Amino acid sequence: MGTILVTGGAGFIGSAVVRHIINNTSDTVVNVDKLTYAGNLESLTSVANSDRYHFEQVDICSQAEISALLNKYQPTAIMHLAAESHVDRSIDGPGEFIQTNIVGTYSLLEAARGYWLDLPEAKKNTFRFHHISTDEVYGDLEGTEDLFIEETPYAPSSPYSASKASSDHLVRAWGRTYGLPTIITNCSNNYGPFHFPEKLIPHVILNALAGKPLPIYGDGSQIRDWLYVEDHAKALYHVVTTGNVGQTYNIGGHNEKKNIEVVETICELLEILAPEKPTGISKYSDLITFVQDRPGHDVRYAIDASKIQRELGWVPDESFETGIKKTVRWYLENAKWWENVLNGTYKLERAGKKEIA
C-alpha cells in the first residue's frame, strides 16, 4: 500500500488512472490538477468520497507548492500526466504548451528531486517518477509496416508534440544526471469514457447526435493506433509498480485505423444504438464533411508494444470494436456529463476551491 501523486488527475487519462487506482488497489491517490478547461472533477464523482482520495488544485509550474505537497503527503511515486495536449490548440497558441509541458515538467522534476534526496534510503530506493508521454514525439511513419519502437528517433511535427518531446528529454536527463528513478511511457491515441468533447471520437459522437457536420481533416486517410483509456490506465499502474527504472515502454492498442474508418464505425454504431436521428437526417454518415487538412498533419502512427508485453506482461483487454462500442454506449447513457461540459456547468464543481485566473 502506497501513496501515488497523480498530476493532471482531473483530465481524461488522469481521471481514468485515479479511478483505476481507487477502485482496484489499496493505494492512496493525491490528485494534483490546475483545473484548466479540460480538467473536470465530475469525471471523479465515483471516487471523490473515498478516504484514499485527495484533491489539490495546484499548478505544476509552482515548484514551491509542489514541494509542499510532496512533504505533506509523502508519496511513494509520482505519475506525471498534467499536460496541454490538443494539437490544434498548440498550433493556434503554442505558449501555454511550452509553459505547462516543458517548464511545468522541469518544476515538477526539481521538486521531486529535492523530495527524493531527503527520503530515507529504503524509501529512496523504491520511489518512482513516472512520466506519461505520447507517440507523437516520434513524428510519423513512412512505410505501412513500420512501427514506433522505444529507440525510434524523435521527430515531432507540432508545437504540442515538440513540447512533449522536450519534457521526455528533461526526464531522461534528470534520471541520468541526478539519479532520479524515472520511467517513461509513450502511448498511442486514447479514447473512451469521459473524453473531452474537442477530441475526434467524442466530437463525432456528439455532433452526430445533434445533427451537425462531422468534420474530417483532408481525405481522412491518416492512420492512428487506438488505445482504450481504461486499458491504458491499467498499463500505467502496472508500469509504475513493476517497471524498471530508466526504461521507456511504448503502450499501444494494436488497433490501427484510418480516421475515416473511425468516423464511419461511429456512424454505424449510432444507427443501431441511437436510431432516432435529428430531424432531416437520413443516415448519420451523411453528416461526414471533409475539411482543409491541419498544418503539419502526421500521416501514420503505429506502436510496437511488444516490450511492455514481453517484460511486464501487459496486453490490452479491448479491441477497437469492443472499445468503441463501449464508448458510444457510454456517451449515450451519460448525457449529463457531456452536457455539463458543453454548457460550462462542470466548472461549478470548483465552487469552494481556489479558482484559477
Catalytic residues: 135-136, 160
As a whole number of angstroms, the distance between CA 247 and CA 234 comes to: 18
Pairing relation of β-strands 53-56 and 77-80?
A: unpaired
Q: Where are the beta strands (DSSP E) in 172-253?
A: 182-187, 189-191, 214-217, 223-228, 248-251
Q: Which of these, 161, 190, 171, lies nearest to 11 by C-alpha position?
A: 190
**Counting beta carbons within 10 angstroms of the beta carbon of residue 60, is it exposed (0 to 12), middle (13 to 18) or buried (19 or more)?**
buried
Query: Looking at this protein, which amino acid is placed at residue 299?
Result: V
Ordered DSSP codes for 122-179: HHHHH-EEEEEEEGGGG---SSSS--B-TTPPP---SHHHHHHHHHHHHHHHHHHHH-
Q: What is the Cβ-side half-sphere exposure of residue 140, based on CA atoms within 13 angstroms?
A: 13
* DSSP label at residue 336: H
Whether residue 3 contacts residue 25, with contact meaning beta carbons closer than 8 Å, is answered with no
Burial 312-324 (b: 16+ CB within 10 A, else e): bebebebebeebb
Query: Looking at this protein, which amino acid is placed at residue 38?
Result: A
Q: 222's torsion region: left (phi>0), alpha (psi -120 to 50) or beta?
A: beta
Could you give the angle at which helices 320-333 and 200-210 cross, rounded to 10 degrees?
50
Whether residue 348 contacts residue 341, with contact meaning beta carbons closer than 8 Å, is answered with no
Query: Looking at this protein, which amino acid is placed at residue 87?
Result: V
* Strand, helix or coil for residue 7: strand
